[in-house]
Copies of this chain bind each other. A is one copy, B any other.
Amino acid sequence: MRKVKITGLGLGIPAKKVSSEELEEKYGIPAGFSEKYSGVSSRYFAETESCAQLGALALHDAMRDAGITCSDLDLLISAAGSYDHPIPHQSALLKKEMNWGPNTIPVFDIDATCLSFVTALDVATDLIGSGRYRRIAIVSSEIASRTANPHAFETFTLFGDGAAAAIIEATEEDCGILTSRFETWEEGALHTIFPGGGLKNFYRDHPYDPVFFSFHMDGMKLLKLARKTLPAFVEHLFQGTGLQMADMDLIIPHQASKAGLALFRADFNLPESQLHNTLDTFGNCIAASIPITLCDAVRKGRVERGDTLLLIGSAAGFTLGGMVLKY
């Protein structure tokens, strides 16, 4: 086991809660579509907040939870697909938003879209393991609503905005990462894509178009690829650990979609009680989904110290990621 302890978790939730009824009415979406197809009855939209502001809310919350101040931190990692500006990297803007003054702990970003948090947790554990850092903050702050394709109900009703943060630290206690694994299938690289706005289709050369400058997801192709690749992936994840799905006290899946969660549960024959979900009230918050769901599970008393948790999900790329965590 690679030892690490999550000593604080926090949330940064936008002020504006949006019900599916409101959304359906405003955008002429058939009534009931959202709950039925997306599984989301309400979500939060960042109407005024920036990624840095939501991230700072989450980080303040997690630091309160851990009982620490900025002088106790050695490193700040922003782990998300969203960003306020193309430059500087989001972690620098987040640190500025925290207003820590003369504190000079370093910052950098990790981006693996929806798996950014799990990737950062995995990486940060090795940074702690090498003895160079004792305590690291990981913040995932995502604003999906601003870039949603308003004509694609499937994605427009599915995504939500929000942030979550975790404080992790070196520990002598019996907790940490029992195993983790990530795999990327290039055949799915373009199943999720935001065509405009990067350097390939730069603004200068493309007049604003709400579809071209928005997030596209081929849900059917993603589901198909996930179902094809997940069984062997999970087998490899558990290989050599003596563990299996049934040993997981709680599974925290990425809140990809209603269909994705249902098929995952069916394909692995999992009782509903073994999973914790927040899709209904938060939507899919990209990289923030897994830590929001973990934080929610802990706060609702569904996780005890010593529990064995499985964090698992998919990301643009196409990547599958899984981590077995002794909490």
Contacts and interface: CB of A to CB of B under 8 A. Distances in A.
A203 interface: yes
Interface in A290-327: 315-319, 321
Nearest to A216: B87
Contact of A85 (B200, B207, B208): B200
Interface in A165-219: 180, 182-186, 189-190, 192-204, 207-208, 210, 213, 215
A200 B318 CA distance: 27
Interface stretch (A22-30, A89-97, A246-254): A89-97
Interface stretch (A10-18, A99-107, A259-267): A99-107
Given A197-B197, A204-B210, A319-B106, A111 B89 contact: yes
For chain A, the bracket of interface size reads: 35 or more
The 10 lowest CB-CB distance pairs between A and B, nearest first, are A106-B182, A88-B316, A92-B317, A96-B189, A84-B200, A108-B112, A87-B194, A104-B183, A109-B111, A86-B194
Given A51-B200, A105-B184, 4 more contacts: A76-B184, A83-B198, A95-B317, A203-B213
Interface of A: 2, 50-51, 76, 81-93, 95-96, 98-101, 103-113, 115-116, 119, 123, 125-127, 129-130, 132, 143, 146-147, 180, 182-186, 189-190, 192-204, 207-208, 210, 213, 215, 315-319, 321
